[in-house]
Structure 1
């Protein structure tokens, strides 16, 4: 297995991406009480499921400091996680709500909030070593569930696989090997308000992908 050159979590004041640092600091001037930093992963270090999102939302995770917490995408994600038995406690869109994930962890392909929720290629590439190290640091990991194409593509690249052999699509599933271990890689349209409001992603479609993950884990 390749030795990680980065820790699984980026430092809160990560300075790898100048554009993201500038944006993060600009938000902090307006909202100094927000988290305003590289958002750490949330969940169980014994996770068998790793949910990989895109990046923190400016008024969601960038505000609260917990992935998918405080925005619409989190409402759907955490409700679905609970339905499939990967959490205990009650999600209240607040990192102090006492919610705990069981057998699951949530992370992001890009750890800092990007302007307009759109990281550029260089930023995705710069953050990928943290994603790789996060994957390698989970000894019981069986399933990676990617939310959206950027997450999917970055994960495929992190695992040293070819995108042409593993194209993104809602409900795609690939059995992959990395570092002497076997994983199931499944993907979904991102659970953003835009996708759910337009009907591109329904709650039923989202649950279908989580059902794949739960079946693979057992």
Structure 2
């Protein structure tokens, strides 16, 4: 069975399809008959390059403010995490290195990814995100609580614009620019990616900057919006509200809205193969 064979997820998704530049055509009811096959040597090279990149990411100490904050968060931990051994380092990307989808967030949470060592893991935003990915067949389970919880992504990879937890969840422009080369390298390595999902305006802006560094410049520059699409070079960039508690608790982003985004994303990724 291929990693994209869990097609029943299509029918569990709810919500209207919205797009600024695509037709409102529903997703296919069956998967493509010819799945993408990755050359073994190419895959080995990709895995080696990712491992090298992730080693560099984890060792990074280039932003003094972020280093101080991520380590302070580990020392001043909430009582509910008093017995946890915090990661307290930059958080690398995670997922299927052969996938056609790259999901990009803002940064790790101080007591989420900064604690667990995996992006969107151990916090409410991750709970909301991975539950949606599971419903549409892009993840093997709906929860993400630790690095060794058995979570696997199918056809998708998750990363962040900034790899360290920032104070008040707000990286500076300088911190963004210092970290951005990691995303640029990820895009080069993840050569099967054709669809990029930006979780929030900060990720949308960062993704456009990373694509520009690869000589793919969107003109005119597209504004962020939930459901907005932009074709940039060989990539389709799709925006969604960030699954933060501020958005999910207020109903600005619902399960149906996020599911509908990932249904579209998965359809585009399959067509591109």
Q: TM-score, normalised by structure 2?
A: 0.72
Q: What corresponds to 1:103 in structure 2?
A: 155
Match 2:125 to one of 63, 73, 76: 73
Match 2:92 to one of 29, 40, 64: 40
Q: Give the Cα separation in 2 of the matches to 1:205 and 1:11.
A: 32
Q: Which has the higher strand share?
A: 1
Tell me, yes or no, if structure 1 residue 176 matches structure 2 residue 228. Answer: no
Task: Go from structure 1 to structure 2 and tell me whether the alpha carbon gap of 1:163 and 1:12 turns closer, same or farther (over 3 Å shift).
Answer: farther
Secondary structure at the residue paired with 1:165?
A: coil
Secondary structure at the residue paired with 2:58?
A: coil
Q: What corresponds to 2:143 in structure 1?
A: 91
Q: Give the Cα separation in 2 of the matches to 1:151 and 1:204.
A: 21
Q: Give the Cα separation in 1 of the matches to 2:138 and 2:219.
A: 29
Q: What corresponds to 1:29 in structure 2?
A: 75
Contact 1:40 1:111 (C-alpha < 8 Å) held by counterparts: yes
Secondary structure at the residue paired with 1:101?
A: coil
Q: Give the Cα separation in 2 of the matches to 1:174 and 1:146.
A: 11
Q: Which runs of 5+ in 2 are unaligned?
A: 1-48, 78-83
- Cα deviation, 1:14-66, whole Å, max 9, x if unaligned, reads 11111101112222334582000100111011011110000000111110011
Tell me, yes or no, if structure 1 residue 195 matches structure 2 residue 247. Answer: yes
- Cα deviation, 1:73-121, whole Å, max 9, x if unaligned, reads 1111101111121122452522221111111110000000001111111
Q: Give the Cα separation in 2 of the matches to 1:29 and 1:194.
A: 26
Q: Give the Cα separation in 1 of the matches to 2:175 and 2:255.
A: 30
Task: Go from structure 1 to structure 2 and tell me whether the alpha carbon gap of 1:112 and 1:92 turns closer, same or farther (over 3 Å shift).
Answer: closer
Secondary structure at the residue paired with 1:111?
A: coil
Q: Give the Cα separation in 1 of the matches to 2:130 and 2:153.
A: 10
Instruction: State the shift of 1:203 in Å.
Output: 1.2
Q: Which runs of 5+ in 1 are unaligned?
A: none
Match 1:141 to one of 153, 168, 193: 193
Secondary structure at the residue paired with 2:69?
A: helix
Q: Give the Cα separation in 2 of the matches to 1:136 and 1:212.
A: 24
Q: Give the Cα separation in 1 of the matches to 2:165 and 2:92.
A: 12
Q: TM-score, normalised by structure 1?
A: 0.90
Contact 1:8 1:137 (C-alpha < 8 Å) held by counterparts: no
Q: What corresponds to 1:128 in structure 2?
A: 180
Q: What corresponds to 1:14 in structure 2?
A: 60
Structure exhibiting the larger radius of gyration computed from Cα positions: 2
- What is the alpha-carbon root mean square deviation over aligned residues? 1.8
